[in-house]
Chain A
Amino acid sequence: QSALTQPPSASGSPGQSVTISCTGTSSDVGGYNYVSWYQQHPGKAPKLMIYEVNKRPSGVPDRFSGSKSGNTASLTVSGLQAEDEADYYCSSYAGGNNLNVFGTGTKVTVL
């Protein structure tokens, strides 16, 4: 299985929005509405931010939103704050016994 493709980096000033893409295939992202997004700060375990394409777990600010079109999913962070600076990873169910494929990761910098 190949990792989902994400841009290596993205940035924005405080208060602005940033959107991260996650491109897969019809066998993973495009085939199921089971895309998740994780935020990871240095030295920490990832934190679930979005699941099932566009659902937010309890406690995640509504500044974080997800969407999907075809084989590409996206995470948008609106109203950027300093604490949003982190690495972000997408993941998708990939069918059959292939429960989980992760994206390559995107480093978000708040300018």
Chain B
Amino acid sequence: QVQLQESGPGLVKPSETLSLTCGVSGYSISSGYYWGWIRQPPGKGLEWIGSIYHGETTYYNPSLKSRVTISVDTSKNQFSLKLTSVTAADTAVYFCARHSITSAVTYWGQGTLVTVSS
């Protein structure tokens, strides 16, 4: 059974960098599929942030592309998100996920709330 688990700080100061990691069990991330990040501001809808394929090819939401970096650590079977220059608008529950090229997300992490505040 594939399982994903987000980890990282729950509070980030404005203008700083948000960093999250997603640990994967039950499947080797180097074996295929897309591994990505999706966020949901409190009381609002879902927004795709970006994804990585085969540990090297990255795809980013055009509206966030200048601030986002997604990377993989195959030795630890995990992937990470960095979002720079955060503001209050980046406060959200961040989900890590596995999806296919057809965009269907079959596995989700439980989500982690990140609040941007001084």
Q: Which residues of A contact B (CB under 8 A)?
A: 1, 3, 32, 34, 36, 38, 45-48, 51-52, 57, 89, 91-93, 97-105
Contacts of A48 in B (CB 8 A): 104-106
Q: Are the CB atoms of B111 and A102 closer together than 8 Å? A: no
In the assembled complex, the CB of B109 is this many whole angstroms from the nearest CB of chain A, namely: 7
- B residues with a Cβ closer than 8 A to A are 34, 36, 38, 45-48, 51, 59-63, 95, 99-106, 108-111
Which interface residue of B45, B51, B104, B109 has the most chain A CB atoms within 10 A?
Answer: B104
**Extra contacts besides A46-B46, A99-B34, A99-B36 (19): CB < 8 Å:** A1-B61, A3-B45, A34-B102, A38-B105, A45-B110, A45-B111, A47-B108, A51-B102, A51-B104, A52-B102, A91-B48, A91-B103, A93-B103, A97-B62, A99-B48, A101-B48, A102-B45, A105-B45, A105-B46
Name 21 interchain pairs, CB-CB below 8 A, sorted by A: A3-B45, A34-B102, A34-B103, A36-B105, A45-B95, A45-B108, A45-B109, A45-B111, A46-B95, A46-B105, A47-B108, A51-B104, A89-B45, A93-B101, A97-B62, A98-B59, A99-B34, A99-B36, A99-B48, A100-B105, A103-B45
CA A93 – CA B105 in complex, angstroms?
A: 11
A91 to chain B, nearest CB (A): 6
Chain A proximity of B28: nearest CB distance (Å): 21
Whether A104 contacts B104 by the Cβ 8 Å rule is no
Q: Is the interface of A mostly helix, strand, loop or mixed?
A: loop
Closest partner residue, chain A, to B105 (CB atom): A48
CA distance A102 to B60 in the complex (A): 14
Which A residues are in CB contact (< 8 Å) with B61? 1, 98
Q: Which residues of A contact B111 (CB under 8 A)?
A: 45
A100 touches B48 (CB 8 A): yes
Return chain A residues, CB-CB under 8 Å to B47: 3, 102
Q: Are B60 and A100 in contact (CB under 8 A)?
A: no
Q: Measured between alpha carbons, how far is A103 from B95 in the docked complex, in Å?
A: 17
